[in-house]
């Protein structure tokens, strides 16, 4: 499984359709995703202070667009990137993603 962080309000909008095409698809050419282990760091870096988040649990085998693991930002770690619109039938779970009491994030158990 790979994961994508999304706001509750955006998920409410896109979940009515069959695909998800965030702004990053246009600006970066792909949808940013993370492994389970990468989620806490990514959330801390890009979503600090947010309390309106969900995690999309995505089945890599069910993806229609190409999935590439790459290190585009010289972080010495490979991140999963989806090169195309996410077909929503590949989303296996939508998980509430709240910060810990101290504001940090942990992967929900």
* Domain boundaries along the sequence of the chain: 2-97
> Taking the CA of residue 57 as centre, how many other CA atoms within 13 Å lie in the half-sphere pointing to its CB?
11
Q: For residues 81 and 25, what is the distance between their CA atoms, to the nearest angstrom? A: 10
Give the per-residue pLDDT at 94. 98
Is 55 in contact with 22 (CB distance < 8 Å)?
no
Q: Which among 94, 100, 79, 103 has a CA at the least distance from the CA of 30?
A: 79
Q: Which CATH number does the domain 2-97 belong to among 3.40.50.300, 3.10.20.90, 2.130.10.10, 3.20.170.20?
A: 3.20.170.20
Residuewise pLDDT in 10s, the chain (109 residues): 999 999 999 999 999 999 999 999 999 999 999 999 999 999 999 999 999 999 999 999 999 999 999 998 888 999 999 999 999 999 999 999 999 999 999 999 8
Q: What is residue 73's predicted lDDT score, i.e. its pLDDT? A: 80
pLDDT for position 40: 97
Task: Return the residue matching tokens 């994508």.
Answer: 4
């Amino acid at each position: 499984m790979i994961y994508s962080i999304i706001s509750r309000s955006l998920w409410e909008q896109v979940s009515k359709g069959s695909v998800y095409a965030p702004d990053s698809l246009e600006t970066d050419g792909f949808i940013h995703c993370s492994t389970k282990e990468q989620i806490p760091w990514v959330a801390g870096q890009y979503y600090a202070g947010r309390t309106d988040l969900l995690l999309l649990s995505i089945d890599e085998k069910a993806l229609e667009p190409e999935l590439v693991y790459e290190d585009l930002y010289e972080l010495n770690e490979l991140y999963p990137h989806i090169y195309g619109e996410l077909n929503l039938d590949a989303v296996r779970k939508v998980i509430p993603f709240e910060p810990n009491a101290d504001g940090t994030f942990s992967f929900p158990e």
